[in-house]
Structure 1
Amino acid sequence: MKIHIIKHIGKFYLCSLVLLAAVGCSDFLDESDPSNLTPDSFYTTAKHAESAVAAVYADARFVGDGAGIFSSNWQLLEAVTGTSTTQTAQNSDLNNLYSLSYDANTLHIRNWWRGVYRVVANANLVLDNVPDIEMDETEKAKVLGEARFFRAWAYFYAVRLWGDVPLITMSQSATSEDFSPVRTPQKEVYDLIVADLLEAESAGLAWTDDSGRVSQSAVKSLLAKVYLTMAGNPLNETARYADAASKAKEVIDNAGPIDLFDTYGEVHDENLGNTVEHIFSLQYNDEVAGNPMGNMFPNFQPVTYRGPSGTGSTVPEIEFYNSYEDGDLRAVDREGWFYSSYYLNGSGELFDLGAPYIFKHFNVTANGTLGVPGTAKDNLNMPIIRFAEVLLIYAEAQNEAGGPNQAAVDALTRIRDRAQLTTPALGAFDTASFRDAVLQERWHELAYEQITWFDMVRLKKVYNSETGGFDDFVGHVNLSSDQALQEKHLLFPLPEQEMINNPNLTPQNPGY
């Protein structure tokens, strides 16, 4: 199923339904003259509805797109955390992210803005036009639910990256009244995110979907994550902790086929995509687009079928790696999230890499393992929401809403059991100590999944890998660069070119 869905999403992406223009592909459209399609003439059949939402899925993969030499868009959310460093210095934009000296012209920031708003634009086209199509009402509701999920998902990134952002809820043209929109207060953006997800929650989506489409469990999990974020900086709506705990508990209690994998290797097994722990992922298939995490390969080391290669532009910061507890399986070579040795050219003799590297997104099937050459086709998906995160959302939110209870400790214990770590009993915790325990697990369990930065911002706290405690955000020194975080870093700057194109976006975020 997964390959079928991805092939069609990819085909539609290549023939493109982007913003206001649509051109046809025979797999999707029946019109005799597709070169003259317009939104009015396109949205007339159930196939058009499916094709339109397929374009939204395809656009969501902007997260893995390139950002100049040896860099990808996702590195925007990793380089600034201090949990990684680089072995190459050939991308000035990436270097500026690592050194916290980025500005409004940094390519990654510009790419994220354009990527987010392309998802919004195509989701708006679906929401504006699909309701009028004559098609099965159950299927229509699902398509609209998927579009609402993605619009919420995109705005959730936007509001956390830039704060007040333009809130566009209708498809646009050059004659639209709000073609040059102003920035909307964050609270209103969050209100739309919640409203979209509540609508999607009741859209009749399947509980899970091994084809990679949005599921009801994905909607509920994202909503729990949104509530948790709203409870922290900058909204500080602390009542939302209870909402986050309640929504996460719905997923935990009704998990069905959802669970933690038994081993960490299964987390990055391409044959297990969209199953068990993977609640929602960006879909990759080498026929359309291969997995985009290659910048985590060590620099010019023969760990794959390609021989000596790799850029090493995202590698672990050594003190962060050393902060994992003794015996933590996640830090064991080739057992957890890291590897310090691998097989020559992917399948030969074991050799020492000289340092730990990130194994979490390493595709053994594509790259090879002992005695088994790689397929050279990296079909591994990019995880966005894992069940592990839902367990940690519940544990944190329940603790903040009412102190630790047995269910919260059980959720934390499930994470630590897999790591082969012992968890104290409920009576050993108070609210403060349980908070620290859960947050430390978030740093260690969810590392290198583009989550840590947003934890830093909402908590205004940063894990100190040398002390094991938590520093205030402002003044914390990233060990990867020996640079201190400032107040301005709680938000990214708006892209300079976007502000030139639309003067209504002013003022720029403070400090830039």
Structure 2
Amino acid sequence: MRISQNINGIIMGLMTMALLIGCESDLEENPPSLVTPQNFYQTDDDFKAAINGAIKPLYGGWGGFDFNAPLILCSGAEDITSRPSSPELRQFDTFNPTLNYSGALGMWTRMYNTINASNGIIASIGTAEGVSEENRNAYEGQARYLRALSYFFLTRWFGEIPLITQDNQAEAINDEVGQSPVADIYALIVEDLSIAENYLPVTFSEVGRPTKGAAKTLLAEVYINMAGWPLKDASKYALARDKAKEVMDMMQYSLEPNFSDLWRVANKLTNSEFIFSLNGLSTNAGAASHLHQGSRPGEEGGWNDIMSEARFFNVFPEGPRKDATFWTDFADEANTNWQDSNIGQPYIAKYRDAGAGASYEQGAVNSFNGDGFFVFSRYAEVLLIYAEAANMAEGGPSALAVDAINQVRRRASGNDTVLYPDLTTSMTMEEFDDAVIAERNWEFAFEAKRWFDLVRREMVIEVNQGLYPNVDEHHRWLPKPQTEVDLITGLEQNPGY
């Protein structure tokens, strides 16, 4: 069973949440928009609205995972680029970032709003006498998952950041919270997810909540990041292996047989692979997906905001997965090929289908507002985390690690073992590791995964220096929004910026 976050109903939940999160205020805004909800949550309906309110900042309104900003922030990887005429969109791709990019500030603000909302839920659990213990655990588990997810993205983008767990951010800022070491931030993430995996059910009666499998999967991803830069704690490989195996043993998820089916709106609530995703609702502009507009070529009436790099397309292995990943022949009157297009780059196919907003096949969109989605965790990543972590923890590939990656490769090739030969246990640890990291590159193209892989495996310079000689080690972290640095006592700009 897959778990997705259906945005339907969130706006009504936000009416209730107005006292908590205000109107997506910046981290530094005054207490009236960050009211402490000590006595606010008393019933199941209160907590359900609160969870919806905690999710809302992450998706919708053209500023979260519904649109371009998270992918722009990850465009230092070789899969994503932007139109040459927009230095603002290309600044991370070319390693010339500004200190006040609106997309970076927007993601910072939204994620701290989710953190603040989650803090309020966690702080209120113990006083909700009218809610059963089972339900209290489920609400707390969801809040801890959302807080962990937000801190996980923030620290991987910006490094040392404010670590706030109290339910009034204004008070925390007044206490000069400053910034915390990355190790401390990861410690809270691990604590939150460890509680969440125990509190959350395997499934909910309603589709659209982070579950036990979502918490375990995110924790496995967290561990494998802790094994790399900057913490470099190799002991976490074994923990990542074991946590991924727990998800595999749940028997709740499986690979969809056809890779292309993953990216169709009609399948988003029923496919077996998605573990946690955020879904748009085209009938509500504030809860809709918008990536279909930003990722379409100008020849089709799109905005040319994000597309692939030709160098990435040219080395991408042939097969059904490649066909479903890239959009190369446009749906315009001239049936333009990407090589003859105005931008001269291949485009992204994964976000084309937006349901009522735009079908996969058509060119011009019906609406800016779509029914698309953004995937945070899917079963293919569980398999590849297991393969990578087991190999590194055990000093070589086991039969189970080999089978895990081969499942992904077979699906990618349409079971063509000539096109994608099976890997074997005869490979060295280094050979198998290279194969897994490469497979992650192909499998998760345009899903905001590759940049973080380059950072944790210290490959940013290696991959980019030939094209961008200015890249160096300080680019592993992005510049923090300077407006936040100026306003928050003790928050320092990252070195090199």
- What is the TM-score with the length of structure 1 in the denominator? 0.84
Does residue 270 (structure 1) correspond to residue 265 (structure 2)? The answer is yes
CA contact (8 A) 1:231 1:241 kept: yes
Equivalent position of 1:496 in the other structure: 482
Q: Give the Cα separation in 1 of the matches to 2:439 and 2:6.
A: 34
Does residue 222 (structure 1) correspond to residue 218 (structure 2)? The answer is yes
1:425 deviates by 4.3
* 3-state secondary structure, aligned to 1:206: coil
* Larger deviation, residues 406-415 vs 368-377: 368-377
Equivalent position of 1:305 in the other structure: none
* 3-state secondary structure, aligned to 2:104: helix
Does residue 359 (structure 1) correspond to residue 360 (structure 2)? The answer is no
CA contact (8 A) 1:476 1:484 kept: no
Does residue 511 (structure 1) correspond to residue 496 (structure 2)? The answer is yes
Q: Give the Cα separation in 2 of the matches to 1:374 and 1:319.
A: 28
* 3-state secondary structure, aligned to 1:322: helix
Alpha-carbon displacement from aligned partner over 1:291-320 (angstroms, at most 9, x marks no partner): 231355343223xxxxxx101221111111
Number of aligned residues: 469
For 1:54-69, what aligned pairs fall within 5 Å after superposition?
54-61=52-59, 65=63
Does residue 123 (structure 1) correspond to residue 121 (structure 2)? The answer is no
Equivalent position of 2:445 in the other structure: 447
1:316 to 287, 303, 308: 308
Going from structure 1 to structure 2, the CA distance change for 1:440 and 1:46 (only over 3 Å counts) comes to same
For 1:103-114, what aligned pairs fall within 5 Å after superposition?
103-114=98-109
CA contact (8 A) 1:56 1:122 kept: yes
1:204 deviates by 3.7
Q: Give the Cα separation in 2 of the matches to 1:457 and 1:405.
A: 26
Alpha-carbon displacement from aligned partner over 1:80-100 (angstroms, at most 9, x marks no partner): 21322223524x421322221
Matched residue type, 1:511: G
Matched residue type, 1:95: R
CA contact (8 A) 1:260 1:387 kept: yes
1:100 to 90, 95, 98: 95
1:237 deviates by 0.8
Q: Give the Cα separation in 1 of the matches to 2:233 and 2:179.
A: 21
What's the C-alpha RMSD, in Å, of the aligned pairs? 3.0
Equivalent position of 1:160 in the other structure: 156
Equivalent position of 1:464 in the other structure: none
Q: Give the Cα separation in 2 of the matches to 1:267 and 1:311.
A: 24
CA contact (8 A) 2:398 2:425 kept: no
- What is the TM-score with the length of structure 2 in the denominator? 0.86
Going from structure 1 to structure 2, the CA distance change for 1:62 and 1:452 (only over 3 Å counts) comes to farther
CA contact (8 A) 1:443 1:452 kept: yes
| Runs (5+) with no aligned partner, structure 1 | 23-34, 303-308, 462-472
Does 1 or 2 have the higher relative contact order (CA < 8 Å, sep 6+)?
2
For 1:173-252, what aligned pairs fall within 5 Å after superposition?
174-175=170-171, 179-207=175-203, 211-252=207-248
Q: Give the Cα separation in 2 of the matches to 1:65 and 1:413.
A: 37
Q: Give the Cα separation in 1 of the matches to 2:378 and 2:310.
A: 25
1:331 to 293, 311, 322: 322
Matched residue type, 1:378: G
Does residue 385 (structure 1) correspond to residue 381 (structure 2)? The answer is no
Q: Give the Cα separation in 2 of the matches to 1:453 and 1:511.
A: 19
For 1:406-485, what aligned pairs fall within 5 Å after superposition?
406-420=399-413, 421-461=419-459, 473-474=460-461, 476-477=463-464, 482-485=468-471
Equivalent position of 1:394 in the other structure: 386
1:266 deviates by 1.1
CA contact (8 A) 1:145 1:205 kept: no
Q: Give the Cα separation in 2 of the matches to 1:21 and 1:290.
A: 20
* Larger deviation, residues 220-229 vs 53-62: 53-62
1:45 to 21, 43, 46: 43
Going from structure 1 to structure 2, the CA distance change for 1:176 and 1:287 (only over 3 Å counts) comes to same
Alpha-carbon displacement from aligned partner over 1:211-241 (angstroms, at most 9, x marks no partner): 2210111111000000000011111110110
Equivalent position of 1:29 in the other structure: none
Going from structure 1 to structure 2, the CA distance change for 1:474 and 1:374 (only over 3 Å counts) comes to closer
1:415 deviates by 0.9
CA contact (8 A) 2:355 2:372 kept: no
Equivalent position of 1:26 in the other structure: none
Alpha-carbon displacement from aligned partner over 1:120-141 (angstroms, at most 9, x marks no partner): 1010011111321121221111
Identity, in percent, stands at 28
* 3-state secondary structure, aligned to 1:44: coil
2:74 to 78, 82, 89: 78
1:3 deviates by 11
Equivalent position of 2:29 in the other structure: none
* 3-state secondary structure, aligned to 2:329: strand
Matched residue type, 1:389: E
Q: Give the Cα separation in 1 of the matches to 2:4 and 2:383.
A: 29
1:41 deviates by 4.7
Equivalent position of 1:11 in the other structure: 12
Going from structure 1 to structure 2, the CA distance change for 1:494 and 1:62 (only over 3 Å counts) comes to farther
Q: Give the Cα separation in 2 of the matches to 1:384 and 1:448.
A: 12
Alpha-carbon displacement from aligned partner over 1:368-398 (angstroms, at most 9, x marks no partner): 3669998756212211111111111110001
CA contact (8 A) 1:227 1:241 kept: yes
Matched residue type, 1:109: A
Going from structure 1 to structure 2, the CA distance change for 1:20 and 1:416 (only over 3 Å counts) comes to closer
Equivalent position of 1:306 in the other structure: none
Matched residue type, 2:483: Q
Matched residue type, 2:412: A
Alpha-carbon displacement from aligned partner over 1:172-198 (angstroms, at most 9, x marks no partner): 164558543121111111111001001
Q: Give the Cα separation in 2 of the matches to 1:313 and 1:321.
A: 18
Equivalent position of 1:283 in the other structure: 279
Going from structure 1 to structure 2, the CA distance change for 1:39 and 1:477 (only over 3 Å counts) comes to closer
1:43 deviates by 1.9
